[in-house]
Structure 1
Amino acid sequence: MGGIYWLISKVMLFWHTVWDSILPDHRVLSTNWQWVLAIVFLVITVRVVLFPIFVKQIKSQRAMQAIQPKMKALQEKHKGDRETLQKEVMKLYQEEKVNPLMGCLPMFLQIPVFIGLLHVLRHLRPGQSEHQQTLYGWTVDEFKSAVDARLFDAPIVAKFSSSTADLIQINASSTTVKIVAAILVALMITTTYLTQRQMIKKTGWNTDPQQRMIQKFMLYGIPFFTLTSGWYFPIGVIIYWVTNNAITLAQQFWVLHKYPPPANATTTTTPLKAGGTAKVAEKPSGLAALFGRAREEAAAQRTNGRSPAKATGAKATGAKATGAKATDTGANGAPSRAPKPGAKPINPKKGGAAKRQSG
């Protein structure tokens, strides 16, 4: 990892030199903006380099969403036969030229950068030997300047969990550090949640239970992780994370409009009457879905409660509709009377007519 630490240091030092030549060499609002902007532009540099891969990631996600109907068909066809299912799924990936690993590649590539910055900022602490100070391409002056760099009077190398002894060494106030760190952690949690919500809001919740569980974990689990990990992150690392989330929101907004999800990822198909065509409608959510279902149920109850005559527009016939007594008709259309109680069955052979015999 030494090469990663060296590369991260060089990018930070480059941007610090750029902003040091532009901004005055003193604190503004108790902040050394040269170092803060060096971290911000470290993020921008990484995102610019990874942007083509980010676009491929979105295209890969769209391709995966487009083949979901075929995936479900294979799962139903080979239910219980996992080996055959895996072979057929790999065959489908090859036919459709889909790489499921591409969706995670940008995140994996950013992990070494994040770890590298975390290590470099933890390395920036007073009391280091000159050899330690000049590791990863730093000069002694640059090292001391970074250790003393502040955001609203909170050192960027300090943490929410920093001990009083550590803060005394860098001449920092525990209250100031905790307030600044808490605000940044809140921003980190919020932006992390919004990046996940933005994607789910556009693509909708997955119908597969396992995929839906993953979406819920991404939406709620990762922000919770940032809450707990923000306790140990230096302020400079939290600046990196918040900036990275802000850029991700902007990139996703652009990409989701340029490469919208396929129709089967955001819509449902509702069958119409015979001879009609399928109507595609967006999935309602929230209160809209609740009131929509209530209206459908009410309409169904009204329809089921109508008589056949009302439903077709024709007049009702029968005993209840006319108010007349119901009569049965015989074979010749004439009314037939019901036999009296105790009467013997009618013998149709005698005289060809139905005669009654009293008991």
Structure 2
Amino acid sequence: MSVIYHAISAILLFWHSAWQRLLGDASALGTDWSWVLGIVFLVLTVRVVLFPVFVRQIRSQRAVQALQPRIAELRTRHRDDRETLQRELVELYRAEKANPLMGFLPMVVQIPVFLGLLHVLRHLKPTMPEQLKTLYGWTVTQFDSASSATLFGAPIAGTFGSTGRDLALLGADGATVRTVAAVLVATMVVTTYLSSRQLILRSGWATDPPQRLVQRLMLYGIPASLLVSGLIFPIGVIIYWVTTNLFSLGQQTWMLRRYPPPVNGASSPEARADTPKAVTNGNGDEPGRPAAPKVGAKPTNRRRRRAT
């Protein structure tokens, strides 16, 4: 994890330095913008680097969605033989180059980044010994500046649950910290829900029960857990999360327009080609069925009277 801490610190310090050269040390609205914008641009850097992964994710999701009719057919055919079902599903995914686990890859990749930033910001304490302040490539001056940086008067290293002693060390007012943290936590929960909802509604609910369960977990479970865990996150980490969600909303809007979901659960071209078409007679009716009466035609008697 030390490599991750160094990487996160390097990106954060780079953007802080860039914004400090542009804005100087001036602050407005009780906010040290060079540090806040450093966190925001840390998000943008990570998301730009991960953009090809997100493109692969959406392509894989579309491939899996197109295979749903064939997957349902396999589940029906092998409902009493799970081993054969799993083997044929693997073969189907391999043949169509679809990976149902690809949807989790961006989230998995971002977890170390999130944990790295959480560790770095929790490390920002004014009472930290000087030899520890220079960990992960920081200078003492940078460390002291970050540990006192604020957003609307609340230190970015503070949390909603910070004790009175912690707040005293940060030189912060408890009411201000809790107010800013509460607003950010609420924003984090709402934007997480909207981001998940946007993706699910635009992509469609999965027909596979396990995948549908995962979708429900993403839609309701993750926002609910953030409502609790967000109370212990440093304000700087919540800024990171909210920025990530806002970026995701914009990115998903673009991706879903660029890679629209299959219409009405349309299957792949191969599946559509294998679907038999109804054979019709010259009137456009299927053989074996009586021809539809023409509009305005008079009914005729099948039996004719014998001529007398």
Task: Give the TM-score category using the shorter length.
Answer: 0.7 to 0.9
Q: Shift in Å at residue 266 of structure 1?
A: 7.9
Using the TM superposition, give the Cα deviation of residue 24 of structure 1 relative to its aligned residue in structure 2, in angstroms: 3.1
Q: What CA distance in whole angstroms lies between the structure 1 residues aligned with 2:175 and 2:190?
A: 23
* Equivalences for residues 17-166 of structure 1 within 5 A: 17-166=17-166
| Deviates further, 81-90 or 196-205 | 196-205
Letter in 2 for 1:113: V
CA contact (8 A) 1:202 1:266 kept: no
**Cα RMSD between the aligned structures?**
2.0
Once residues 10 and 97 of structure 1 are traced to their aligned partners in structure 2, the CA distance between those partners, rounded to angstroms, is 37
Aligned residue identity for 2:127:
G
How far apart are the structure 2 equivalents of 1:242 and 1:276? Answer: 59
* Distance change (3 Å), C-alpha of 1:10 and 1:151: same
Unaligned runs of 5+ in 1: 268-273, 278-311, 315-359
1:222-257 Cα deviation digits (max 9, x unpaired): 110110111100000000000000000000000000
Pair 56,42 (structure 1): closer, same or farther in 2 beyond 3 Å = same
Q: Larger Rg: 1 or 2? A: 1
Instruction: State TM-score, norm by structure 2.
Output: 0.85
Amino acid in the other structure paired with 1:64:
V
State the percentage of identical aligned residues: 58
Q: Supply the distance in 2 between the matched residues of 1:21 and 1:166 (Cα, whole angstroms).
A: 31
SS of the residue corresponding to residue 116 of structure 1 reads: helix
Cα distance in structure 2, aligned partners of 1:250 and 1:162: 33
Measure, in 2, the Cα distance between the counterparts of 1:256 and 1:276: 40
Aligned residue number for residue 271 of structure 1: none
Question: Is contact 1:204–1:266 with CA below 8 Å preserved after alignment?
Answer: no
Cα distance 1:211–1:105, how it changes in 2: closer, same or farther (>3 A)? closer
| Residue 246, structure 1, aligned to residue 246, structure 2 | yes
1:6-40 deviations in Å (ceiling 9; x for gaps): 01000000000000001131211110000000000
**Other-structure match for 2:277:** none
Whichever residue aligns with residue 194 of structure 1, its letter is L
Bigger helix fraction: 2
Alignment of 1:211-230 (within 5 A): 211-230=211-230
Which stretches of structure 1, 4 residues or more, deviate above 4 A after TM superposition? Answer: 274-277
Count of aligned pairs between the two proteins: 275
Gaps of 5+ in 2: 268-279, 287-295, 299-308
State the structure with bigger RCO (CA 8 A, min sep 6), 1 or 2: 2
Q: How far did 1:214 drift?
A: 2.1
- Partner Cα distance (2:81, 2:174) in 1: 60
1:167 matched to which residue of 2? 167
List per-residue Cα deviations over 1:177-220 (Å, max 9, x = no partner).
00000000011011000001111221232333333222222111
Q: Is contact 2:5-2:136 (8 Å) kept?
A: yes
d(CA) in 2 for partners of 1:217, 1:52: 25
The answer as to whether partners of 2:66 and 2:266 remain within 8 angstroms in 1 is: no
* Structure 1 position 276, deviation (Å): 8.1
